[in-house]
Structure 1
Amino acid sequence: MPDSPAPAQSPGTSRSTSATIPPNILRCLTPVTDGYGVDLRPELSRVGLDEAMMRSAALRVSYRQGSAVIRRALELTGDAHLGLRVGAAQHLTSWGLLGFAQMAADTLREAIETGVRFQNLSGAMVVWSAGPEEVGYVLRAELPDPALDPAVAVFLVEEAFASVVTLTRLSSGEEFTPQSVEFAFPAPRDFGPFTELFRCPVRFDAVGNRLVFPTAWAARPMPGHDRVTYAAVVELLEEQAASRRDQQDLLEVLEISIAQSLPDVPSFVEQARRHASSERTLRRRLAECGTTYEAVVDGVRRERVEQLLRRPELTLRDIARQAGFSDVRALRRAVHRWHGVAPARLRGEAGVQ
């Protein structure tokens, strides 16, 4: 379709090890696992999240924290398609302020494109893009980390499409049915949960993850459309997005600085000097990001250790030294805190997650 507008594209997703993602998926995950008799609080605590923090509107989590909790939830519930349940359990306010902007949009297409535009504020752990194609209006979901645990990857894509369909039905009509849904992962043994939820042809082992909206539905007016409300909420979202970009830039600069300095770690005082900032100001800016300098250092060290463990020629002593640990015992304690296993066992697995 040569005359079609350009697809709505992702504004970019960072692989920062620090806290940058609203924990919306984890907040929706917890009540679903409660229904299985599974208490996720110990796992949340393991990655540094307690109940008080989870209730904070300012909380941000890292991609790694989110993946670790999801992986554990899959193990504890034994439900290979937990993502479908979590997506289907969401409501119109699950995406926060962004959800209200989408409800006030003129059409379903504008609601979708608003979601893509501000996806980094929604807590999404996939990368969204959308645009018209010959088959209809297509919403695509990609994974930002190709090395992601396959089970977590399936969860994220299932949750993404299930939540879109569920929220579309809640906002625009229960009768909504996608034209088709395609998943890049292999077909499951039981198609039932997919056909029951999506009510349309579902394809697996596809080239990519795509949900096709019928063209007529994409042009359908949103029941709550209101230009004044929409403009006001989008203005707030733009302010939040600008603030988030500043926070992301700070975290990435710090991570690069730490990674380049290993095995030595620049002191907090030194980092403040490098950023022409007072210690108090830098500490406040990190708090606004939902993290601390110690947590940023820990994330960078974890990334480095996981890279080094993939190199069989290195001893644990070599790895400890290159990652800036005082000795092998300190390395072992850190790996156990991150993964719950010893470095030797982690190294022997099929990949370090």
Structure 2
Amino acid sequence: MSESPAPAPSPGTSRSTSATIPPNILRCLTPVTDGYGVDLRPELSRVGLDEEMMGSAALRVSYRQGSAVIRRALELTGDPHLGLRVGAAQHLTSWGLLGFAQMAAETLREAIETGVRFQNLSGAMVVWSAGQEEAGYVLRAELPDPALDPAVAVFLAEEAFASVVALTRLSSGEEFAPQSVEFAFPAPRDMGPFTDLFRCPVRFGAAENRLVFPTAWAGRPMPGRDRVTYTGVVELLAEQVASRRDQQDLLEGLEISIAQSLPDVPSFVEQARRHASSERTLRRRLAECGTTYEAVVDGVRRERVEQLLRRPALTLRDIARQAGFSDVRAMRRAVHRWHGVTPARLREEGTDQ
């Protein structure tokens, strides 16, 4: 039976700004880009992340933050297949308790299905699903936003399947090779990195991103299998999922409230009242989400500005007013902080795409 995938965020919804993703991909990305002589710290700082924050196990980032850093890493390294390198460099220990549960699973199939079940704790930026089909045991990676930057979309698909293959080889045997791999993006000029890594037929321009495991491998026992340990860790993961769901509900509720109120922004006191909470409790809950009310407001304003800049009939003054800025200068400073360019330039870049 197929695992039910976690619901994918819809394009343009508040989940694109919610800080709910463990930054595992960004943590794996940094040492890989170091090998290119690229320092990602300024890019992390640009999206509000510093070294101290990146070292915190409690840190969560938004889909927008992750995409922005990945986009810049691709530009700075000039490597169109950076996703393959990042995926191949991963270890199960990078996934924390989830990786430990997978190592203790009975079979490779159970390890995979545990990863799918708790994917929201893994730092995944794709939506996973898995199940037995006629072709074999199939793992799918769906991009949650069809409007995603094409280069970032390729990175995420490559990283997803490269990490699966790398982790399977580390845990179950270096000789592992998928039965086949399919990518939804067009074929690259150089197929070498794909054939070298996957050691199986690779098809491009497919209807979906799909990796097929040989059935015999799916049932292969995990070397570290331990039923008692697995059961105990899965219970802890289930508790984390319940807590994360509460956090996500809080962030989405705040973002919707702010978006519906623009150009006015509800005060923090008003938000605490709406959530039947004291100001102190609400601040604590936001801290547990790894954010602040000011950061949530900033994220909603950013999304609103980006949406309005796509409407050529609106002047910059109109956009600043509708997004809740005091004037165009304030909006210009914010846009430069977010993107490193002026609103006019950002509008031109959006038109050129």
Asked whether the two chains share a fold, i.e. TM above 0.5, the reply is: yes
For residues 10 and 217 of structure 1, do their structure 2 counterparts lie closer, same or farther at Cα, with a shift above 3 Å needed? farther
Report the CA distance between 1:42 and its aligned residue: 0.5
- Give the SS at the match of 1:94: helix
For residues 63 and 2 of structure 1, do their structure 2 counterparts lie closer, same or farther at Cα, with a shift above 3 Å needed? closer
- Give the SS at the match of 1:181: strand
Report the CA distance between 1:188 and its aligned residue: 0.4
Report the CA distance between 1:5 and its aligned residue: 14
Deviations, residues 187-220 of structure 1 (Å, cap 9, x unaligned): 0000000000000000000000000001111111
Report the CA distance between 1:147 and its aligned residue: 1.0
Report the CA distance between 1:350 and its aligned residue: 3.8
1:11 and 1:238 map into 2 onto residues whose CA distance is: 27
Deviations, residues 267-304 of structure 1 (Å, cap 9, x unaligned): 00110011110000000000000000000000000111
C-alpha contact 2:9 2:15 (8 A) present in aligned 1: no
2:351 and 2:115 map into 1 onto residues whose CA distance is: 33
Greater CA deviation, 11-20 or 256-265? 11-20
For residues 217 and 259 of structure 1, do their structure 2 counterparts lie closer, same or farther at Cα, with a shift above 3 Å needed? same
Matches within 5 A, 1:145-160: 145-160=145-160
Greater CA deviation, 12-21 or 98-107? 12-21
For residues 14 and 234 of structure 1, do their structure 2 counterparts lie closer, same or farther at Cα, with a shift above 3 Å needed? farther
Deviations, residues 99-153 of structure 1 (Å, cap 9, x unaligned): 1101111111111110000000000000001111110000000111111110011
For residues 174 and 351 of structure 1, do their structure 2 counterparts lie closer, same or farther at Cα, with a shift above 3 Å needed? farther
C-alpha contact 1:15 1:145 (8 A) present in aligned 2: no
Quote the residue 2:117 is aligned against.
117
Q: Equivalent pairs: percent with the same residue?
A: 91
Report the CA distance between 1:15 and its aligned residue: 2.6
1:4 and 1:21 map into 2 onto residues whose CA distance is: 19
Deviations, residues 292-320 of structure 1 (Å, cap 9, x unaligned): 00000000001111111111110000000
C-alpha contact 2:179 2:200 (8 A) present in aligned 1: yes
Using the size of structure 1 for normalisation, the TM-score is 0.96
Quote the residue 1:335 is aligned against.
335
Question: What count of residue pairs does the alignment treat as equivalent?
Answer: 353
Greater CA deviation, 328-337 or 256-265? 328-337
- Structure 2 unaligned blocks of 5 or more: none
Query: How large is the RMSD of aligned CA atoms in angstroms?
Result: 2.8
1:4 and 1:143 map into 2 onto residues whose CA distance is: 15
1:302 and 1:331 map into 2 onto residues whose CA distance is: 9
Report the CA distance between 1:7 and its aligned residue: 14
C-alpha contact 2:3 2:113 (8 A) present in aligned 1: no
Using the size of structure 2 for normalisation, the TM-score is 0.96
C-alpha contact 1:8 1:129 (8 A) present in aligned 2: no
For residues 108 and 12 of structure 1, do their structure 2 counterparts lie closer, same or farther at Cα, with a shift above 3 Å needed? farther
C-alpha contact 1:67 1:152 (8 A) present in aligned 2: yes
- Structure 1 unaligned blocks of 5 or more: none
1:187 and 1:85 map into 2 onto residues whose CA distance is: 18
For residues 6 and 27 of structure 1, do their structure 2 counterparts lie closer, same or farther at Cα, with a shift above 3 Å needed? closer
Report the CA distance between 1:92 and its aligned residue: 2.2
Greater CA deviation, 284-293 or 4-13? 4-13
- Give the SS at the match of 1:7: coil
C-alpha contact 1:309 1:347 (8 A) present in aligned 2: yes
For residues 253 and 212 of structure 1, do their structure 2 counterparts lie closer, same or farther at Cα, with a shift above 3 Å needed? same
- Give the SS at the match of 1:148: coil
Greater CA deviation, 263-272 or 7-16? 7-16
1:130 and 1:347 map into 2 onto residues whose CA distance is: 40
For residues 46 and 192 of structure 1, do their structure 2 counterparts lie closer, same or farther at Cα, with a shift above 3 Å needed? same
